[in-house]
Chain A
Amino acid sequence: MSETKQPGKATLLEIYRIATLIKTADDRFIALIKAGQIASPYYSPRGQELIPAAISVSLTPADYVVTTYRGIHDQLAKGIPLKPFVAELFGRATGTCKGKGGPMHVTHVASGLPVTTGIVGAGLPIANGLAWASQLKGTDQVTVVNFGDGASNIGAFHEALNLAAVWTLPVIFVCQNNGYAEHTKYEYGTGAATIADRGLAYGIPGVEVDGNDAVAMWQAASTAIARARAGDGPTLLEANTFRFRGHLMGDDSHYIPKEEMAAAIAADPLPRFRAWLIEQGHATDGQLADIEATNVAAFEEAVEFGLASPYPDVSELDKDVVAEGAQA
């Protein structure tokens, strides 16, 4: 794995804890849908877990993370509390958004998750505004905005990168490049050789990194975050990864060549990271198994809470449209 600055053991184990929590949530959520216990559109982040896990250890609770409909990995990594998170995915009144946001729009302001958008590319211009507020207030907060490779072809991406550069905003643009924009393979939809190359057009650093390598990802993210925190402006990070479970649940990835999928699964970053941690002496098999078991137990408790929670009352339709007491 990479050299230069190295994450400590505690950091590595925290990355592992978060990444495996994400996988637990993903597995469990899919099982619940398949069992008919919940009905919901679902965009699995399986395969991309290490990216937010390795980013989040360099963030503070006050930092902002903006993400998309494929976002549960980013939300869990930012520390969203499990019970209201799961309840939101289930559309329950006890959810972070009272069930009014749902899986594509999970937000939790107290965890620094103010926006989760279902519109490709739309989070980038909003991230600039969050960062502008931090800049004006003189805090050292940074904003991380996550999006896919497909989003780098929409206008909002280009407008946002340019503005962030002109205003020297504390934003980290994280492109989780999983190789497919919905069903379209990278090279059939994107003219640039890499997404990172696009940083050059806006005068900001464009950094390509193996998003499936926890150490490399941590190094790239911590460097970009430190740069933003110091007031030196935005970075475009391209984290290369792979999407194992289709664009959304029910998509069998028929457009991905079988050999490509098989190779990606053989290189699954989670078991690879697990083996590496043991091999390097950072943890024993038993310690990692304990982390995994704790995740499963905590998530199961959240699922029970979610399933037992009531749905929102129909009167909620009239609430939160505008401020309470104002006419909509």
Chain B
Amino acid sequence: MSAVQAKKINIVQAINMALHDAMELDSSVVVLGEDIADREGGGVFKCTAGLSGKFGTGRVKSTPIAEQAIVGAAVGGALAGLRPVAEIMLMNFTTVAMDQIVNHAAKLRFMTGGQTHVPLVIRTTTGAGFGTGGQHADYLEAWFAHTAGLKVVAPSNPADAYGLLLSCIFDDDPCIFIENLPLYFVPGEAPVPGQRVPIGKAKVVQEGTDITLISYSKTLHEVIAAAKDLAREGVSAEVIDLRTISPLDMPTILASVAKTGRAVVAHEAQVDFGVGAEISARLHKALFGTLKAPVARVGAARSPVPFSKPLESAFVPTKERILAAIRETLK
């Protein structure tokens, strides 16, 4: 293997590294979730492999299949000075724990007048592509972003996954950390050990002048592929990876769209009432009169995630659908 190849790792490895480094740095960092200890295999996706062996089953706790109990224990632990990282295996399962997340984790700092705070991370994965159907692949980031008190991040690559997870663990407020299942094993540039990626900072991954493409998580890769096609046609697209959904990095988004005058937001979540709608509203408010075209949004079909492969392929925002929206915006 060449030196360059040796520096590549995947997101599962990046997450494992971040958890490991955080636990080594601070004994208040604890991890809990279904099957996460080594006795149970180190997590169904192996993100926590080796951690209980190194840090003990006191700090790395497998739990029953009981999401309210998991998040509740994380909330209580956080109130008592721990920095818990709760793994909720799949994002749809966070719905079982919504009371703990929305009514408690998000609100206790405010409701106690700042006496308490809840420094917990809920790591969860999702995404269509593996034929898991209607209850295992939803993107629910807008639900969480709509709740005051929660931070929501969704990295698209291993280095950002590592750096953002470290930032979330050491943040003093609850963070929802969204991973993408099909991206888990895609190699990417390895993170620099200890290097955190700040919450609330988007990244311009490609500079351009004709249109701004805004995305995050897996859909960012479709957007980058679309931008490559556009380049061949002589269209210069600027691509922004949000990385953090809430709080939104509006300065970065505004600077770009002020320059290009056009924007397309693409994500795997439903379009209606989604993150794209929020960004679009903010862009139209800030740049009304200077936009060259209305902000376009691309997302999943307005249906539950389907099983059948042709349906699933049509459900997600593909490069082709993103390109169609871009071409409409460029008219």
Give A contacts to B, CB under 8 Å: 64, 95-101, 105, 107-109, 114-115, 117-119, 122, 124-137, 143, 155-156, 159-160, 162-163, 166-167, 319-323, 326-328
> Can you give 29 A-B contacts (C-beta < 8 A)?
A96-B112, A96-B113, A97-B112, A97-B113, A100-B110, A105-B111, A107-B111, A107-B116, A109-B115, A114-B112, A114-B116, A115-B116, A117-B103, A122-B72, A124-B72, A125-B72, A126-B76, A128-B73, A129-B76, A132-B82, A133-B77, A133-B79, A134-B80, A143-B76, A160-B68, A162-B69, A322-B109, A327-B200, A328-B149
The smallest beta-carbon distance between B83 and chain A, in angstroms, is: 11
Decide: A322 near B113, CB < 8 A? Known: A126-B104, A133-B82, A136-B82: no
Decide: A96 and B73 in contact? CB cutoff 8 A: no
A-B contact count (CB 8 A): 158
Q: Name the A residues within 8 Å of B117 (CB-CB).
A: 323
B320 at the interface (CB under 8 A from A): no
Give which listed residue, A128, A321, A327, contacts B69 with CB less than 8 A. Answer: A128
Chain A residues, CB < 8 A from B71: 125
Interface residues in B192-248 by Cβ distance below 8 A to A read 200, 247
Chain B, residues 31-68, CB within 8 Å of chain A (1/0): the string is: 00000000000000000000000000011010110101
Contact A96 B78 (CB under 8 A): no
Further pairs besides A117-B103, A124-B72, A156-B72: 14, Cβ < 8 Å? A100-B113, A101-B111, A105-B111, A107-B112, A114-B80, A122-B100, A127-B76, A129-B84, A137-B81, A159-B64, A159-B68, A166-B64, A320-B110, A328-B149
Q: Please, which residue of chain B has its CB at the minimum distance from the CB of A98?
A: B113
On whether A160 and B109 interact (CB within 8 A), knowing A107-B116, A126-B104, the answer reads no
Q: Taking chain B's interface residues, is the majority helix, strand, or loop, or is none over half, making it mixed?
A: mixed
Tell me, rounded to whole Å, the shortest Cβ–Cβ distance linking B158 to chain A.
26
Give the distance in Å from the alpha carbon of A45 to the alpha carbon of B208 in the complex. Answer: 65
Which of B73, B77, B78 contacts A163 (CB under 8 A)? Answer: B73
Instruction: Contact check, B115 vs A108: say whether CB atoms are below 8 A apart.
Output: yes
CA distance A95 to B114 in the complex (A): 12
When distances are taken between beta carbons in the complex, the residues of chain B under 8 Å from A115 are 76, 79, 104, 108, 116
